[in-house]
């Protein structure tokens, strides 16, 4: 790739704000470069092309021709999926004579391979963006004294597909030279002037959404692919990056709210992040772990009620409704719960547009980019651990989580519900640790253990169902100011609580069996910790 000058990786951050905020930020002193160069102004038109079956989109590509005055530039971007990360996309570009796509000018065999076979005339316009772009070059040094050169492009305009037009208003910070950290620092300092939001979707992702009319998709976590011999330091970076990517990729779906998976996946990403922080906590400066854990917990908390009501409606109320189709009381309950869910989603949207959330992402992004844990507060012992091969740490941490779970679950059959909840939580932590590290061991060896762990976790999940049902039903039963309590509400609450309280007693023998099975299963890692 290095041999071809037209091929490169773009490192950029995008901030979304309304046009008035853009106006204010344009005046920001930190955007005035040291050399005082005058800003450039451009009128750009970008036409994005694809096949009728959207194969380029499916392959994570964006194919566009940009009209910049009298010039036409054809660009192919790779890795352009919603889950591609905050920045860094591969890019090929070259001049073309018109708005007509030209495949024959693309010499790079890897880009040709990525595009695949395209039949003659098969590429057609999917959507168009038109922007008034003002670019300010920002030169200087970053917080560590390294040279930086950033292009800050202020885009105002529209995006049009299939006759529908949406406004477009964002700032693109592109790194021309220097360390990526500089982008995050600049974005953070702009937050002090006016709040913006980190835009994780590319313009093309937005354009396709508009063109296809599809709701934003949710995404699973990308596989981690950790290796036994990689350093703890590299593994830590990979794990945290994957978690961050997972939750930010689901932001659009969570904000949209039409599929419960959006908020759910975002929470899974955040929860895995928290557990990674907890797994690696001894290796991080204490105040770093506290900060990250606190912010992630806050975000999780903001998304919690939306998830709770989704679960309540789909997994707790629906089964009862299915068994009692003529029960009118349950309809009262459903309506009350749906109102709560709608309110919870309003809360999600508010939290994600809060400056606190944007700051968290920007600070975390910069910290990860620079591996910010390597600072004065890092102890020599921690530094040694970070240098170790991952397998050594994995053996140690798995043994510890395993031991803790066994201790909590001692005399399981006789444990009261509160103690079983503690087992459930220990189990959850064990499961996250196992998920992070199981790739380091032969899959066959880990299988029986993972199976036993899953079985037990499922059983313990019933306990949680009741606890959640009780909390949420109590919430519904609470009198609300200025509102008449609908007839049948108390009755329906009683019915559903009773339903699950009884169900748990039925699960008791299975739960004890699953505990015994798990406690007997041999760990798949080296327990001596070597």
Partner 1 sequence: MITVLVANPKGGCGKTTIATHLASAFAGAGLRTALADADRQRSSLRWLRQRPDEAAPIMAQDWRQGPKDLPGPVDRLIIDSPAAMKLGKIDELLRQADVIVVPVLPSGFDVGVSRAFLKKLDDLKPIRKSKTAVAVVRNRVQLGTRSAAHLDRFMLGVGFTGVGRLRHRTIYTEVASQGLSIFDLPAKQYEDLRDDWAPLLRYIENADPSISNFAVGE
Under the binding rule (CB under 8 A), the answer on residue 58 touching partner 1 is yes
Give the span between the Cα atoms of 324 and 322, in whole angstroms: 6
Give the span between the Cα atoms of 279 and 396, in whole angstroms: 11
Give the burial class of 209: count Cβ atoms within 10 A of its Cβ; 0-12 exposed, 13-18 middle, 19 or more buried.
Answer: buried
| CB-based contact 196:190 (threshold 8 Å) | yes
Least Å from the CB of residue 398 to partner 1: 31
Least Å from the CB of residue 247 to partner 1: 16
For the record, the structure tokens of 502 come out as 């009884």
Query: 148 to each of 38, 143, 171, 174, 194, how far by Cα in Å?
Result: 18, 10, 18, 11, 23
Under the binding rule (CB under 8 A), the answer on residue 81 touching partner 1 is yes
For partner 1, the closer of residues 203 and 420 by Cβ is 203
Under the binding rule (CB under 8 A), the answer on residue 96 touching partner 1 is no
Phi/psi at 284 (nearest 5 deg)? -110, 150
Under the binding rule (CB under 8 A), the answer on residue 225 touching partner 1 is no
Among 42, 55, 130, 297, the residue binding partner 1 under the rule CB under 8 A is 55
Number of C-beta neighbours around residue 70 at 10 A: 5
Under the binding rule (CB under 8 A), the answer on residue 106 touching partner 1 is yes
Least Å from the CB of residue 74 to partner 1: 15
Among 216, 257, 260, 455, the residue binding partner 1 under the rule CB under 8 A is 216
Under the binding rule (CB under 8 A), the answer on residue 215 touching partner 1 is yes
Under the binding rule (CB under 8 A), the answer on residue 83 touching partner 1 is yes
Under the binding rule (CB under 8 A), the answer on residue 7 touching partner 1 is no
Strands 7-10 and 164-177: unpaired
For partner 1, the closer of residues 212 and 526 by Cβ is 212
Under the binding rule (CB under 8 A), the answer on residue 120 touching partner 1 is yes
For partner 1, the closer of residues 261 and 490 by Cβ is 261
Least Å from the CB of residue 117 to partner 1: 5
- CA-nearest of 356, 349, 27, 371 to 190 is 27
Least Å from the CB of residue 204 to partner 1: 10
Among 38, 113, 225, 376, the residue binding partner 1 under the rule CB under 8 A is 113
Least Å from the CB of residue 53 to partner 1: 6
By CB under 8 A, what part of segment 246-285 binds partner 1? none
Q: How many residues bind partner 1 (CB under 8 A)?
A: 29
Under the binding rule (CB under 8 A), the answer on residue 527 touching partner 1 is no
Give the span between the Cα atoms of 327 and 322, in whole angstroms: 10
Under the binding rule (CB under 8 A), the answer on residue 102 touching partner 1 is no
Tell me the three-class secondary structure of 28-77, residue by residue: CHHHCCCCCCCCEEEEEEEEEEECCCCHHHHCCCEEEEEEECCEEEEEEE
For the record, the structure tokens of 400 come out as 């510890």
For partner 1, the closer of residues 219 and 402 by Cβ is 219
Torsion, Cα 81 132 158 6, to 10 degrees, reads -30
Under the binding rule (CB under 8 A), the answer on residue 349 touching partner 1 is no
Give the span between the Cα atoms of 61 and 335, in whole angstroms: 43
Q: Which residues pair with 91 in a beta bridge?
A: 8, 77
Among 28, 118, 194, 497, the residue binding partner 1 under the rule CB under 8 A is 118
For partner 1, the closer of residues 7 and 31 by Cβ is 7
DSSP 151-211: EEEEEEEEEEETTEEEEEEEEEEEEEES-THHHHHHHHHHHTTS--EE--S-HHHHHHHHH
Q: Which residues pair with 186 in a beta bridge?
A: none
**Three-class DSSP category at 431:** helix
Under the binding rule (CB under 8 A), the answer on residue 313 touching partner 1 is no
For partner 1, the closer of residues 57 and 206 by Cβ is 57
Among 14, 89, 148, 219, the residue binding partner 1 under the rule CB under 8 A is 219
For partner 1, the closer of residues 256 and 465 by Cβ is 256
Give the span between the Cα atoms of 381 and 379, in whole angstroms: 5
The 7-10 sheet, strands edge to edge: 7-10, 89-95, 71-78, 62-68, 40-50, 124-141, 147-161, 164-177, 12-16, 197-198
For partner 1, the closer of residues 82 and 370 by Cβ is 82
Under the binding rule (CB under 8 A), the answer on residue 1 touching partner 1 is no
H helical segments located in 380-486: 380-387, 390-408, 417-437, 443-477
Instruction: Show the binding pattern over residues 194-213: x = contacts partner 1 (CB under 8 A), - = does not.
Output: --------------x---x-
Under the binding rule (CB under 8 A), the answer on residue 336 touching partner 1 is no
The span of 33-41, 81-89, 224-232, 402-410 binding partner 1 (CB under 8 A) equals 81-89
For partner 1, the closer of residues 93 and 234 by Cβ is 93
Least Å from the CB of residue 263 to partner 1: 17
Under the binding rule (CB under 8 A), the answer on residue 214 touching partner 1 is yes
Among 116, 167, 301, 494, the residue binding partner 1 under the rule CB under 8 A is 116
Binding site for partner 1 (CB under 8 A): 51, 53-55, 57-60, 81-83, 103-104, 106, 109, 112-113, 116-120, 208, 212, 214-217, 219
């Amino acid at each position: 790739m290095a041999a071809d000058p037209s091929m490169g990786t773009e490192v950029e951050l995008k901030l979304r704000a309304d046009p008035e905020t853009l106006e204010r930020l344009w005046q920001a002193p930190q955007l005035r470069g040291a050399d005082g160069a005058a800003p450039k102004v451009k009128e750009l038109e970008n036409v994005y092309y694809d096949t009728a079956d959207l194969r380029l989109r499916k392959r994570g590509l964006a194919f566009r021709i940009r009209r910049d005055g009298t010039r036409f530039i054809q660009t192919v971007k790779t890795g352009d999926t919603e889950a591609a990360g905050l920045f860094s996309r591969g890019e090929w570009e070259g001049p073309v004579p018109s708005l007509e796509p030209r495949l024959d000018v693309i010499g790079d065999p890897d880009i040709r391979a990525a595009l695949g076979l395209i039949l003659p005339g098969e590429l057609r316009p999917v959507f168009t963006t038109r922007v008034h772009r003002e670019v300010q070059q920002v030169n200087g040094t970053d917080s560590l004294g390294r040279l930086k050169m950033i292009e800050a492009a202020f885009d105002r305009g529209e995006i049009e597909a299939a006759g529908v037009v949406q406004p477009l208003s964002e700032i693109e910070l592109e790194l021309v030279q220097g360390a990526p950290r500089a982008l995050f620092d600049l974005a953070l300092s702009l937050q002090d002037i006016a709040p913006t939001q980190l835009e994780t979707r590319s313009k093309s992702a937005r354009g396709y959404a508009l063109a296809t009319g599809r709701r934003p998709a949710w995404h699973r976590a990308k596989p981690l692919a950790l290796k036994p011999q990689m350093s703890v330091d590299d593994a830590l970076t990979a794990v945290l990056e994957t978690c961050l990517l997972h939750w930010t990729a689901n932001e659009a779906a969570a904000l949209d709210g039409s599929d419960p998976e959006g908020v759910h996946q975002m929470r899974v990403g955040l929860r895995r992040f928290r557990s990674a922080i907890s797994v690696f906590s001894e290796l991080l400066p204490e105040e770093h772990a506290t900060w990250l854990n606190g912010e992630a917990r806050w975000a999780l908390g903001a998304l919690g009620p939306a998830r709770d009501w989704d679960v309540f409606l789909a997994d707790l109320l629906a089964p009862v409704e299915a068994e009692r189709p003529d029960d009118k009381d349950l309809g009262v309950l459903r309506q009350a719960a749906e109102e709560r869910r709608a309110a919870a989603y309003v809360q999600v949207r508010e939290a994600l547009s809060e400056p606190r959330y944007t700051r968290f992402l920007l600070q975390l992004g910069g910290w990860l980019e620079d591996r910010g844990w390597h600072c004065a507060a890092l102890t020599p012992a921690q530094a040694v651990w970070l240098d170790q091969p991952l397998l050594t740490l994995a053996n140690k941490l798995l043994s510890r989580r395993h031991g803790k779970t066994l201790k909590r679950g001692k005399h399981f059959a006789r444990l009261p519900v509160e103690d079983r909840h503690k087992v459930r939580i220990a189990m959850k932590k064990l499961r996250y640790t196992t998920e992070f590290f199981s790739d380091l061991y032969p899959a066959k060896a880990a299988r029986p253990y993972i199976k036993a762990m899953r079985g037990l976790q499922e059983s313990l999940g019933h306990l949680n169902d009741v606890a959640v049902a009780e909390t949420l039903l109590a919430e519904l039963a609470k009198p609300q100011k200025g509102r008449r309590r609908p007839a049948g509400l108390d009755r329906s609450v009683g019915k559903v609580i009773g339903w699950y309280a009884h169900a748990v007693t039925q699960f008791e023998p299975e739960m004890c069996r699953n505990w015994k099975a798990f406690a007997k299963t041999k760990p798949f890692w080296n327990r001596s910790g070597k």
